[in-house]
Amino acid sequence: MNQKMNDDLPVYRLLTGPDGASFCRRVSEVLNEGYQRYSSPSVTYDPEKKTVSASQAVIRITDSRAFLNLPE
C-alpha cells in the first residue's frame, strides 16, 4: 500500500459492471488506492441481454479505533 488511505472511503466495496477492460481498470484503480480483494471475483451471464456481468468485493484495512470513532 503506497498511498495513505483516505479515512472517508468505505471499508467495504462491491464493484460490479459489464465484464471487460473497463471493469478490470476499475478494480485495478481501487487496488492501487490500497484496497485488497475480498474473496474471488464472480461472473454472471444474463441470457436475455446476452451479457456477462462481473463483481469483485474489496476491503481496506483500517485502524479499528478510528473506524469505530473511539478516542485514541
d(C-alpha 21, C-alpha 2), whole Å: 24
> How many structural domains does the chain have?
1
Q: So what's the pLDDT on residue 8?
A: 76
Residue 69 lies in a domain: no
How does pLDDT run across 8-61, given as a tens digit for each residue?
A: 788 999 999 999 999 999 999 999 999 999 999 999 999 999 999 999 999 998
Residue 2 lies in a domain: no
Q: Can you give the residue range of the structural domain that contains 44?
A: 12-60
d(C-alpha 67, C-alpha 23), whole Å: 28
Q: In whole angstroms, what separates CA 5 from the centre of its chain?
A: 14
Residue 51 lies in a domain: yes
Place of cell 472517508: 8
- Name which residue leads in pLDDT, 27 or 71: 27
